[in-house]
Each structure stands twice: as structure tokens, then as C-alpha cells.
Copies of this chain bind each other. A is one copy, B any other.
């Protein structure tokens, strides 16, 4: 009933969907006033698709095409069409392992967000928790940011520091960063879909 007026979110993910799960829990608890209208994965049989199906949310595998780090043109068109058909007003990347190109960004201007497991601009790209361990930082964290043409370079909406412990392995650190992600991402999405975040250039301002 009231669902009709809730902002619709489309989710793209490549993995088991733990951030998607956190978003679902936040919606179910009544904290995040949104609905997930479609989940898309570039990985056939990805856990995130099973999780969507288990919640009766439309779940689609889109074959990514011949490139390794991005979608080919056809795959990008398929994603845009699916998102549009399901009325997605926001596109939320949740462990999606490919870069989005121009057509996608133009279809959802200032409407695509991502979460990255470091305090950007430190450690963009793959396996950020491992980069952090190798560099020897004492704090890393996670960052929610708008998606632009770069790799993890868009305007930052929110960040959360996570300490690196002396006995951390990349895996133990990654787990602790993810626990922060599961709190931060739904909270930022709540503010975003409620119109409480204003973006001016590289700066995001929060209305309290």
C-alpha cells in the first residue's frame, strides 16, 4: 500500500550480497524508507541473486560480455533497461566488481552510489583491506561515495574509520570493515533518499 510512495532502489552486486542484506534488514525494520525493486548481477548464480529471490525481489543475471573490468555495451543497455522497467530511482552498488561507463552514468545522473572498503582517497581499487595491511596504516575504514567515471573517485557522502590491529590479517580486517559497512551504507541511503544530502562539487552536505 504505502509501498507505492517509497523511493525505489535498484541494486547491482557480484558477490554474496552482504551489503544488500544489511539494506534489506534496514528496510524491514522500518528504518530505511525505501524499497528494493530489482537486483542485478554480472555473476551467474551469485549469492546476491538467491538472497533477492528469497525475498521475492526480481533478480536478474546479466551476462557482462567480453571485458574483464566493465560491462560491454549490450550488458550495460540490459542493466539500464531492467533498472528503468523496475522504476529504480537510485542505483546502489553493493560489491559490484565492474566500472560503469558513460551511458550508465548518463542514465542515472547523480543517482549511483557505491561503498568502498577504505578511507578514500587511500587505497582505491581492488582488495583495499589488503592494500591497507601492506602499507601499514593504523586506521582504514569504509567510504560511501557517488559514482563517477573514475575508480572510487566520486564525491564522498560518508566515511567510517576502522582501526587496524597489530594481529590483524587481511581477512580479519576485511571482516571488521564489512561490519562497519553494514551500518554505514543503510544510514547513508536513508539520508540520501530522504533528500537530506546536498552535493556541491566534491562536497556533500548533510541536513540534520
Contact surface of A with B, Cβ cutoff 8 Å: 119-123, 134-139, 141, 143, 155-161, 166, 201-206
Contact = CB atoms under 8 A, between A and B. Distances in A.
A136 B155 contact: yes
Given A119-B122, A122-B121, A156 B138 contact: yes
Contact of A204 (B122, B136, B203): B136
Contact of A119 (B137, B202, B205): B137
Contacts of A121: 122-123, 135, 137
B138 A159 contact: yes
Nearest to A207: B166
A108 to B, nearest CB: 21
Contacts of A134: 202
Given A120-B122, A120-B137, A138-B157, 11 more contacts: A121-B122, A121-B123, A134-B202, A135-B156, A136-B155, A138-B156, A139-B141, A139-B160, A139-B161, A141-B161, A166-B205
A204 B164 CA distance: 11
A135 B166 contact: no
B139 A119 contact: yes
Given A122-B119, A122-B121, A161-B161, A136 B202 contact: yes
Most interface-central of A120, A138, A159 (chain B CB within 10 A): A138
Given A119-B122, A122-B122, A202 B135 contact: yes
A116 B137 CA distance: 13
B141 A156 contact: no
A193 to B, nearest CB: 19
Contacts of A120: 122, 137
